[in-house]
């Protein structure tokens, strides 16, 4: 007998990534040889090293998770659904470092390798994780000729009102990061965008092997083995960034995580974090990252914003602010510019140009993922709130943070 | 490899304002406890400048006021910068902000001067670009070191910038200026032969050769591959240059590299090299190309 296990309801090997949020899966018998009953009991378990990721299972969309699950699977080839989620606190380190196994009795009848792909603190990445991330990012940039150029063009002076200074700041950047992350994952499926926790010392980020070390002029230097030495934007190689703080400690004057989460249980209060810590983190450097129009030229931008998004995710969980229908979850207002109210689609993914939108829409629609369908190719503001699918499983966007559990 | 570094001539503006700066510092006596409180307050609530014109004008005045402690003025600048990320709310403040930045580009405080010029240059501000070019053409008018001026001009390269950068490469006041001039020229497709010669010059500083490798790989990848092949076979070549070449070919080499058997043989030999970085780069290369 043989069974097929489909992760994220897909036979595509690129779909074999899960987060803390439950992923819909299914199992079906592909070869019923030796089975004489209409159904067969199949036990699903997982195997992984202690330092690798771990997953848990449940049979339905609700209920408790367990380390194993037994399902009655018909031999006629019909699928039986179940759910897999990363075990909180046990993210993967390498691609496919978990094996999900299906057994009939003691006989192994099917297995797949998968990964609990989670956004982690960049300061704590393993050497292999760091190197994979740097390689994928350099490849996406491809010396200024790659797809990264679209991401640079999305965040320029003329487009800033789409993304800054109003309620849509957080949803817009959530979509922006996800778009970039999915492009990185298309190059290397094991990549999850790491975050720079700017309220803590992060000396491992500011090394020549990772995001580089500034020389006296403020040009970032990389090791000879780091492909980011070939970084190029707007036709010019290199990165301009000089920290105004000692990189063995955190930048001074920034609200820390507790202070940020204490800004209030209303979104309109919480979003003032756009000034401090967000803006303050940007201007803790002298260089591209200190100016909104040039900030994404520096790849560190994406780690900084990943932390901004993580803080929003933490705040959402703390106050249950996933539901767009709850007024405190967002700050819709008739006076908001287009793109900043819940039902609005967001530029550039909506392709709308002219009028209150910029004259061009670089990059096309938001990248799709074999792991999750939300927020769709032309996301609305409201589709970026329930990112884990806590309220509606179909809203799951396919990312999670190492210190923000599901639900 | 040439490692000796000339000391850059101090920019004229620094000399000119040195006395005034000392006097201002002496008047203020550095950061006092009141100043520390103001700095903390400005850091905590950067968006306050968008909330009232009075607060904005107060912060702009602090930024311009040479009698204030440097740390307070820098905090005022950071407050304005942080608020500038809130673009819609900051829009009404932008004109006054840019005017204040222009007012401090020749300030006695070198750090403030450099940061104000940096912000303006990143915004492609013509006033700042002219100041930077003037300083490169006439060092008596320089507001920042030549390498910094070149770095900032690279934010918006024009033909005028190329001409001065070429002159700096020929006759650099210091190695940093040469490096930044080469970075600026990397946007100029006609500069490929220059990068080839810099890349192959073993007397050049490693970081300057690294810039040349990066520029050449982007402008003429086939030339870079040819040079890389030779440099990898050259036993007298520096480890970091070999590692840089291998990194370029591994990540950006493409199909032509995969089919280059002579190159594969050279790299295969280097996978057992004594240098850790060469060995690491060679192994990544072979892994990438399935050898």
Question: What CATH number does the domain containing A26 carry?
Answer: 2.60.40.1930
Regarding whether A155 and A34 lie in a shared domain, the answer is no
Regarding whether A270 and A158 lie in a shared domain, the answer is yes
Percent of chain B with pLDDT over 90: 58
Contact B170, B32 (CB under 8 A): no
CB atoms inside a 10 Å sphere around CB A110: 21
Do B85 and A279 count as a contact with CB atoms less than 8 A apart?
Answer: yes
CA dist list (Å): B205 to A217, B195, B196, B201, B210: 16, 13, 14, 9, 9
Q: Which residue has the higher pLDDT, A111 or B88?
A: A111
Chain B contact for A74 (CB, 8 A cutoff): no
Q: Which of A29-38, A277-286, A318-327, B204-213 is predicted least confidently?
A: B204-213
pLDDT value of residue B46 = 80
The answer to whether residue A386 sits within a structural domain is yes
The answer to whether residue A240 sits within a structural domain is yes
Residues whose CB falls within 8 Å of the CB of residue A198, separated by 6 or more in sequence, listed in order: A250, A251, A254, A277, A281, A284, A304, A307
The answer to whether residue A407 sits within a structural domain is no
Which among B122, B187, B277 has the least Cβ separation from residue A236? B187
Do B78 and A272 count as a contact with CB atoms less than 8 A apart?
Answer: no
Chain B contact for A269 (CB, 8 A cutoff): no
Q: Find chain B residues with C-beta within 8 A of A135's C-beta.
A: 251
Helices B192-200 & B175-185, crossing angle to 10 degrees? 140
Q: Which of A251-260, A338-347, B3-12, B42-51 is predicted least confidently?
A: B3-12
Would strands A80-86 and A241-243 be described as parallel, antiparallel, or unpaired?
unpaired
Average pLDDT (A85-91) is 98
The answer to whether residue A406 sits within a structural domain is no
Distance CA A297, CA A287 (A): 10
Each residue of B261-288: pLDDT tens digit? 888 888 998 888 889 999 999 999 999 9
Statement: residue B31 has pLDDT above 50: no
| pLDDT classification of B11: cutoffs 50, 70, 90 | low
Average pLDDT (B61-77) is 95
Residue A293's H or E segment, with its range, is none
Regarding whether A178 and A301 lie in a shared domain, the answer is yes
Do B119 and A215 count as a contact with CB atoms less than 8 A apart?
Answer: no
- Structural domain ending residue among the three candidates A116, A133, A160: A116
Which among A139, A216, A279 has the least Cβ separation from residue B251? A139
Regarding whether A222 and A195 lie in a shared domain, the answer is yes
Do B251 and A230 count as a contact with CB atoms less than 8 A apart?
Answer: yes
Tokens 């829009």 belong to residue: B91
Contact B102, B94 (CB under 8 A): no
Do B119 and A145 count as a contact with CB atoms less than 8 A apart?
Answer: no
Regarding whether A258 and A373 lie in a shared domain, the answer is yes
pLDDT value of residue B32 = 52
Regarding whether A137 and A74 lie in a shared domain, the answer is no
CA dist list (Å): A108 to A105, A242, A342: 8, 56, 49
pLDDT value of residue B47 = 77
The answer to whether residue A402 sits within a structural domain is no
The answer to whether residue A226 sits within a structural domain is yes
Do A235 and B187 count as a contact with CB atoms less than 8 A apart?
Answer: yes
Average pLDDT (A81-95) is 98
Regarding whether A226 and A162 lie in a shared domain, the answer is yes
Do B86 and A274 count as a contact with CB atoms less than 8 A apart?
Answer: yes
Tokens 């884990």 belong to residue: A388
pLDDT value of residue B20 = 47
The answer to whether residue A352 sits within a structural domain is yes
Closest-CA residue of chain B to A238: B183
Average pLDDT (A294-299) is 97
Closest-CA residue of chain B to A145: B218
Q: Which CATH number fits the domain that encloses residue A128?
A: 1.10.1280.10
Residue of A188, A238, A294, A298 to mutate for B, most B C-beta atoms under 10 A: A238
Q: What angle do CA A131, A120, A234 make, to 5 degrees?
A: 55
User: DSSP character for A207?
Assistant: S
Which among A138, A215, A225 has the least Cβ separation from residue B281? A225
Regarding whether A388 and A307 lie in a shared domain, the answer is yes
Contact B44, B36 (CB under 8 A): no
Closest-CA residue of chain A to B184: A236
pLDDT value of residue B255 = 84
Distance CA B189, CA A312 (A): 44
Radius of gyration of chain B (CA): 24
Distance CA A1, CA A22 (A): 28
Which among B87, B157, B284 has the least Cβ separation from residue A160? B87
Mean pLDDT of chain A: 97
Average pLDDT (B56-83) is 94
Report residue A311 as tokens: 């803080």
Statement: residue A236 has pLDDT above 90: no
Q: Which residue has the higher pLDDT, B271 or B177?
A: B177
Report residue A308 as tokens: 């901004």
Regarding whether A126 and A112 lie in a shared domain, the answer is no
- Find the domain containing A89 and state its range: 2-116
Q: Which residue has the higher pLDDT, A40 or B235?
A: A40
Residues whose CB falls within 8 Å of the CB of residue A244, separated by 6 or more in sequence, listed in order: A251, A283, A284, A285, A286, B78
Q: Find chain B residues with C-beta within 8 A of A278's C-beta.
A: 85
Chain B contact for A237 (CB, 8 A cutoff): yes
Each residue of A129-185: pLDDT tens digit? 999 999 999 999 999 999 999 999 999 989 999 999 999 999 999 999 999 999 999
Do A255 and B44 count as a contact with CB atoms less than 8 A apart?
Answer: yes
Q: Which of A138-147, A321-330, B157-166, B275-284 is predicted least confidently?
A: B157-166
Does the N-terminal peptide bond of residue A262 adopt cis geometry, omega within 30 degrees of 0? no
Percent of chain A with pLDDT over 90: 97
Statement: residue B225 has pLDDT above 90: no
Please tell me the distance in Å from A188's CA to the nearest CA on chain B: 13
| pLDDT classification of A72: cutoffs 50, 70, 90 | very high
Q: Which of A1-15, A205-219, B11-25 is predicted least confidently?
A: B11-25
Q: Find chain B residues with C-beta within 8 A of A279's C-beta.
A: 46-47, 81-86
Chain B contact for A219 (CB, 8 A cutoff): yes
CB atoms inside a 10 Å sphere around CB A333: 11
pLDDT value of residue B33 = 62
Residue of B38, B83, B88, B185 to mutate for A, most A C-beta atoms under 10 A: B88
Distance CA A92, CA A88 (A): 11
Q: Find chain B residues with C-beta within 8 A of A143's C-beta.
A: 214, 217-218, 252
Please tell me the distance in Å from B226's CA to the nearest CA on chain A: 18
Contact A57, A101 (CB under 8 A): no
pLDDT value of residue B257 = 87
Percent of chain A with pLDDT over 70: 100
Do B43 and A144 count as a contact with CB atoms less than 8 A apart?
Answer: no
Q: Positive or negative CA dihedral for A315, A318, A324, A326? A: negative
Please tell me the distance in Å from B249's CA to the nearest CA on chain A: 10
Q: Find chain B residues with C-beta within 8 A of A255's C-beta.
A: 44
Each residue of A377-407: pLDDT tens digit? 999 999 999 999 999 999 999 999 999 999 8
Please tell me the distance in Å from B218's CA to the nearest CA on chain A: 6
Which among A135, A221, A236 has the least Cβ separation from residue B183? A236
pLDDT value of residue B39 = 86
Distance CA A80, CA B51 (A): 58
Regarding whether A194 and A329 lie in a shared domain, the answer is yes
pLDDT value of residue B80 = 94
Contact A46, A129 (CB under 8 A): no
Residues whose CB falls within 8 Å of the CB of residue A346, separated by 6 or more in sequence, listed in order: A162, A168, A171, A172, A175, A339, A378, A379, A380, A381
Do B207 and A164 count as a contact with CB atoms less than 8 A apart?
Answer: no
Regarding whether A166 and A77 lie in a shared domain, the answer is no
- Structural domain ending residue among the three candidates A86, A116, A146: A116
pLDDT value of residue A38 = 97
**pTM to 2 decimal places:** 0.93
Helices B159-170 & B146-153, crossing angle to 10 degrees? 150
Would strands A39-48 and A98-104 be described as parallel, antiparallel, or unpaired?
antiparallel
Regarding whether A151 and A43 lie in a shared domain, the answer is no
Statement: residue B28 has pLDDT above 60: no
Closest-CA residue of chain B to A290: B81
Please tell me the distance in Å from A290's CA to the nearest CA on chain B: 7
Average pLDDT (A357-362) is 95
The answer to whether residue A401 sits within a structural domain is no
Q: How many structural domains is chain A composed of?
A: 2
Q: Find chain B residues with C-beta within 8 A of A160's C-beta.
A: 87
| pLDDT classification of B89: cutoffs 50, 70, 90 | confident
Statement: residue B4 has pLDDT above 50: no
Contact B148, A217 (CB under 8 A): yes
- Structural domain ending residue among the three candidates A88, A116, A144: A116
pLDDT value of residue B277 = 92
Chain B contact for A235 (CB, 8 A cutoff): yes
Q: Find chain B residues with C-beta within 8 A of A269's C-beta.
A: none
| pLDDT classification of B12: cutoffs 50, 70, 90 | low
């Amino acid at each position: 007998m043989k069974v097929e296990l489909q992760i994220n309801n897909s036979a595509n090997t690129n779909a074999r990534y899960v987060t803390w949020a439950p992923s819909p899966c299914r199992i079906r018998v592909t070869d019923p040889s030796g089975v004489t009953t209409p159904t067969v009991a199949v036990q699903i378990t997982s195997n992984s090293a202690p330092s690798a990721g771990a997953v848990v299972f449940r049979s339905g969309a609700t209920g408790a998770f367990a380390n194993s699950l037994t399902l009655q699977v018909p031999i006629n080839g019909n699928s039986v659904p179940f759910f897999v989620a990363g075990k909180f606190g046990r993210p993967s380190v390498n691609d496919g470092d978990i094996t999900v196994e299906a057994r009939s009795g003691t006989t192994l009848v099917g297995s797949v390798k998968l990964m609990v792909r989670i956004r982690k603190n960049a300061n704590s990445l393993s050497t292999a994780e760091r190197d994979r991330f740097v390689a994928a990012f350099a490849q996406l940039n491809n010396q200024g000729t790659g797809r990264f150029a679209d991401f640079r063009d999305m965040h320029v002076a003329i487009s800033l009102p789409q993304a800054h200074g109003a309620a849509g700041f957080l949803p817009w950047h959530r979509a922006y990061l996800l778009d970039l992350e999915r492009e990185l994952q298309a190059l290397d499926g094991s990549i999850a965008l790491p975050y720079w926790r700017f309220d803590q010392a992060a000396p491992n980020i500011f090394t020549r092997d990772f995001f580089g070390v500034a020389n006296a002029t403020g040009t970032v230097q990389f090791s000879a083995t780091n492909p980011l030495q070939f970084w190029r934007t707007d036709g010019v190689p290199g990165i301009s960034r000089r920290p105004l703080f000692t990189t063995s400690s955190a930048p001074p004057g920034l609200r820390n995580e507790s202070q940020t989460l204490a800004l209030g249980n209303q979104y309109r209060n919480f979003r003032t974090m756009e000034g401090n810590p967000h803006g303050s983190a940007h201007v803790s450097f002298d260089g591209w990252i200190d100016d909104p129009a040039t900030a994404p030229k520096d790849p560190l931008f994406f780690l900084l914003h990943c932390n901004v998004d993580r803080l929003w995710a933490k705040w959402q969980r703390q106050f249950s602010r996933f539901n767009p229908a709850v007024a405190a979850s967002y700050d819709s207002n008739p006076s908001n510019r287009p793109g900043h109210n819940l039902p609005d689609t967001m530029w550039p993914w909506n392709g709308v140009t002219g009028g209150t939108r910029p004259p061009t829409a670089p990059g096309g629609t938001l990248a799709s993922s074999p792991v999750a369908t939300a927020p769709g190719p032309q996301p609305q503001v409201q589709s970026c709130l329930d990112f884990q699918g806590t309220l509606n499983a179909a809203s799951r966007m396919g990312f999670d943070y190492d210190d923000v559990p599901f639900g | 490899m040439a490692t000796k570094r000339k000391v850059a001539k101090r920019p004229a503006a620094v000399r000119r304002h040195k006395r005034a700066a000392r006097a201002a510092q002496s008047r203020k006596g550095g950061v006092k406890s009141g100043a520390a409180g103001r700095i903390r307050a400005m850091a905590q609530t950067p968006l306050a400048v968008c909330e009232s014109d009075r607060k904005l004008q107060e912060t702009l005045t602090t930024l311009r006021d040479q009698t204030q402690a440097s740390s307070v003025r820098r905090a005022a600048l950071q407050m304005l910068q942080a608020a500038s990320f809130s673009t819609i709310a900051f829009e009404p403040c932008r004109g006054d902000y840019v005017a204040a930045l222009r007012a401090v580009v020749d300030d006695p405080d070198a750090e403030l001067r450099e940061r104000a010029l940096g912000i303006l240059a990143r915004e492609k501000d013509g006033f700042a670009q002219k100041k930077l070019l003037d300083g490169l053409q006439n060092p008596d008018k320089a507001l920042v070191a030549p390498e910094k001026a070149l770095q900032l001009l690279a934010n918006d390269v024009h033909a005028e910038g190329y001409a001065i950068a070429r002159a700096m490469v020929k006759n650099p006041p210091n190695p940093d200026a040469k490096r930044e001039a080469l970075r600026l020229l990397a946007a100029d497709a006609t500069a490929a032969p220059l990068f080839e010669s810099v890349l192959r010059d073993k007397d050049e500083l490693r970081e300057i050769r690294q810039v040349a490798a990066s520029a050449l790989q982007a402008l003429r990848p086939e030339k870079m591959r040819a040079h890389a092949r030779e440099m990898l076979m050259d036993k007298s070549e520096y480890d970091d240059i070999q590692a840089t070449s291998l990194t370029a070919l591994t990540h950006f080499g493409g199909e032509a590299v995969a089919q280059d058997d002579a190159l594969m043989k050279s790299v295969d030999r280097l996978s057992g090299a004594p240098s850790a970085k060469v060995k690491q780069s060679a192994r990544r290369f072979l892994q990438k190309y399935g050898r």
